[in-house]
């Protein structure tokens, strides 16, 4: 398997055979784009996926500035598309798969009394089923790598033990559900046998489009968030698989 992966690596102009490879979902902007930038600068082979990379100027600029960055189309709700991309990339070992793509679902749509029920499926499809399907589809790519890490970008908003206030019920529920689903994946015997590490990581309160309109005093910039996350991803090991960490290294209660 490893020899096949090495052979296929050489077929891709973007790749460097000795470098590690990361695949990122939702790399068009925000935290995902910053992950792509930082790993590119560190010399990794970066597979930056987005719903419509041909329209994402910042991502296109990154790819044209770094030959170790390739863009691929991936909508995490399109399960057939996920399988197609996994097949296209068959034989490429992916050291770190980052399930980053996510939506909040709007702030006024999830208030008790005026709930827009149609939002629930969108939030769950993108934030929970998307990461699960991407992980299933790419598990052999990850298992064939050196580092074997699947990192899920969760949120402290998903912590049932720490709920404060009443807001964004669907978003909060989606991150609790993501945590449970990924804990369950981590406990799966085939995942343990393959030695795949399942990370569940919170990025902090980050200044991106996601938090537009919220008070900035408590926010960190995206560079700081991703720098911390990359340090945590480096630390993730088999003992930490299925556990929930902040990107500053604190193990979180669920």
Residues that bind ligand NAP (CB under 6 A): 25-26, 28-32, 50-51, 75-77, 100-103, 126, 153, 155, 202-203, 205-206, 208-211
Contact 201, 229 (CB under 8 A): yes
The position carrying tokens 């019920």 is: 169
Residue 171 annotated to the active site:
yes
Between 34 and 144, CB nearer to ligand NAP: 34
Among the listed residues 39, 171, 236, 244, the single catalytic one is 171
Between 20 and 174, CB nearer to ligand NAP: 174
Picking from 35, 59, 139, the residue whose alpha carbon sits closest to that of residue 93 is 139
Distance (Å, whole) CA 207 – CA 214: 9
- With H, G, I as helix, E, B as strand and everything else as coil, classify residue 240: helix
Closest distance between ligand NAP and the C-beta of residue 189, in Å?
28
Residue 251 is classified by DSSP as B
Between 5 and 199, CB nearer to ligand NAP: 199
Closest distance between ligand NAP and the C-beta of residue 133, in Å?
11
Picking from 23, 22, 28, 34, the residue whose alpha carbon sits closest to that of residue 207 is 34
The position carrying tokens 């990461």 is: 131
| Cα–Cα separations (whole angstroms), residue 49 to 71, 74, 157, 178, 181 | 6, 6, 25, 20, 22
Between 9 and 170, CB nearer to ligand NAP: 170
Contact 199, 241 (CB under 8 A): yes
Closest distance between ligand NAP and the C-beta of residue 36, in Å?
10
Between 16 and 77, CB nearer to ligand NAP: 77
> Crossing angle for the helix pair 30-41 and 222-235, nearest 10 degrees?
60
Closest distance between ligand NAP and the C-beta of residue 78, in Å?
8
Closest distance between ligand NAP and the C-beta of residue 204, in Å?
7
Q: What is the set of active-site residues?
A: 171
């Amino acid at each position: 398997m490893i020899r096949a992966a090495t052979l296929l690596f050489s077929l891709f102009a973007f790749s460097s055979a000795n470098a590690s490879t990361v695949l990122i979902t939702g790399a068009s902007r925000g935290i995902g784009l910053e992950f792509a930038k930082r790993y590119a600068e560190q010399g990794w082979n970066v597979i930056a996926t987005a719903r419509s990379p041909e329209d994402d100027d910042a991502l296109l600029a990154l790819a044209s500035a770094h030959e170790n960055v390739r863009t691929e189309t991936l909508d995490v709700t399109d399960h057939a598309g996920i399988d197609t991309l996994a097949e296209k990339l068959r034989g490429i070992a992916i050291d770190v798969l980052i399930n980053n793509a996510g939506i909040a679902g709007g702030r006024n749509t999830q208030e008790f009394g005026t709930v827009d029920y149609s939002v629930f499926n969108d939030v769950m499809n993108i934030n929970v089923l998307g990461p699960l399907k991407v992980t299933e589809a790419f598990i052999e790519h990850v298992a064939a790598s050196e580092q074997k890490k699947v990192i899920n970008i969760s949120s402290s908003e998903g912590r049932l033990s720490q709920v404060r206030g009443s807001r964004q019920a669907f978003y909060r529920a989606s991150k609790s559900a993501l945590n449970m689903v990924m804990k369950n994946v981590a406990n799966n015997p085939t995942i343990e046998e393959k030695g795949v590490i399942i990370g569940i990581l919170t990025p902090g309160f980050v200044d991106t489009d996601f938090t537009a309109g919220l008070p900035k005093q408590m926010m960190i910039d995206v560079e700081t968030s991703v720098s911390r996350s990359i340090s945590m991803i480096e630390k993730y090991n088999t003992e930490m698989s299925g556990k929930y960490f902040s990107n500053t290294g604190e193990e979180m209660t669920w």
